[in-house]
């Protein structure tokens, strides 16, 4: 995986390559081909490049030699597939344009269910989180979790009612050095949850069965409509984990 440096110290480092994303450089057809992003991708020489939403940095890097590219799309504003001034989107660079949640666009060629980091049979055993935290089975366990921008976690915590005598409120922040990851594997023990409505948190809750006891808080994003996700996707019938569908396509590619 290649992308800009992320701030989350708890994420596994294996398989991730930090890449400098210089907007001015990547907007230039000539300079983009000599960029660090282009150099690292060419050195890796992939057979298939799967692009998660952010196509613009690759606009003047693609195509790569002997490499097919697929673009994954989740919630996006109407202008996303137009592109910024001087950097128009080119759908022909992608052999597949895949929606990974129920969005609409004439550019979409394939659809799969949302991609979730794990399946129900991969969760931690029942009681694992309570044992780790030392929370008795007769107390209500309330969790607050977030992995968005710094400062947002505190704003969710502030919305949670004060704990009653029979409750324990715990918080999970991916910015913490010792954060549990993936936290979704542990949340089956929780009686109530509070989190944002970002793509991962929302669809993990739907697929892993704790959405009906989760309070979602939508945060404003320029490229992701979290309020739309809460309002329009809560009853979307996931039939399979899109991660397994995508992996199957790749294996057969």
At 152-191, the pLDDT tens digits run 888 999 989 888 899 999 999 888 888 899 999 999 999 9
Residue 13: pLDDT over 90: no
On average, the pLDDT of the chain sits at 94
- pLDDT by residue (tens digit) across 194-229? 999 999 999 999 999 999 999 999 999 999 999 999
Residues 6+ apart with CB under 8 A from 209: 120, 188
Tokens, residue 132: 């780790």
Q: Looking at residue 198, what is its pLDDT?
A: 96
How far is the C-alpha of 4 from the C-alpha of 19, rounded, in Å? 5
What kind and span of H or E run contains 243? helix 242-252
Describe the crossing of helices 226-233 and 199-208 by its angle, rounded to 10 degrees: 20
How far is the C-alpha of 67 from the C-alpha of 65, rounded, in Å? 5
Phi/psi of residue 213, each to 5°? Answer: -120, 20
Q: Looking at residue 147, what is its pLDDT?
A: 85
- pLDDT by residue (tens digit) across 223-250? 999 999 999 999 999 999 999 999 999 9
Contact 25, 32 (CB under 8 A): yes
How far is the C-alpha of 186 from the C-alpha of 55, rounded, in Å? 33
Q: Is 17 helix (H, G, I), strand (E, B) or coil?
A: strand
Look up the pTM and report it: 0.94
CA angle (12 as vertex; 144, 39 as ends), nearest 5: 125
Tokens, residue 230: 């809460």
Residue 12: pLDDT over 80: no
Strand partners, 217: 196
Burial 82-103 (b: 16+ CB within 10 A, else e): eeeeebebeeebbebbbbbbeb
How far is the C-alpha of 253 from the C-alpha of 244, rounded, in Å? 14
């Amino acid at each position: 995986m290649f992308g800009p440096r992320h701030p989350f110290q708890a994420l596994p480092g294996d398989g991730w390559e930090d890449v400098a994303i210089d907007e001015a450089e990547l907007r230039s057809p000539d300079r983009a081909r000599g960029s660090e992003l282009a150099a690292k991708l060419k050195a890796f020489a992939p057979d298939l490049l799967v692009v998660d939403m952010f196509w613009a940095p690759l606009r003047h890097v693609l195509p790569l030699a002997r490499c097919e590219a697929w673009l994954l799309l989740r919630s996006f504003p109407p202008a996303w597939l137009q592109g910024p001034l001087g950097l128009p989107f080119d759908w022909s660079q992608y052999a597949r344009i895949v929606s990974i949640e129920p969005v609409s666009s004439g550019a979409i060629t394939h659809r799969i269910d949302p991609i979730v980091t794990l399946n129900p049979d991969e969760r931690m055993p029942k009681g694992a989180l309570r044992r780790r935290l030392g929370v008795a089975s007769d107390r209500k366990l309330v969790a607050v979790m977030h992995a968005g921008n710094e400062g947002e976690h505190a704003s969710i915590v502030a919305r949670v009612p004060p704990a009653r005598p029979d409750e324990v409120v715990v918080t999970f922040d991916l910015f913490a050095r010792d954060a549990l990851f993936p936290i979704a594997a542990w949340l089956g023990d929780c009686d109530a949850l509070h989190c944002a409505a970002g793509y991962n948190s929302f669809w993990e809750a739907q697929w892993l069965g704790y959405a009906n006891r989760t309070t979602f808080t939508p945060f404003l994003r320029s490229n992701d409509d979290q309020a739309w996700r809460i309002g329009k996707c809560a009853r979307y019938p996931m039939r399979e984990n899109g991660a397994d569908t995508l992996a199957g396509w790749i294996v057969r590619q």
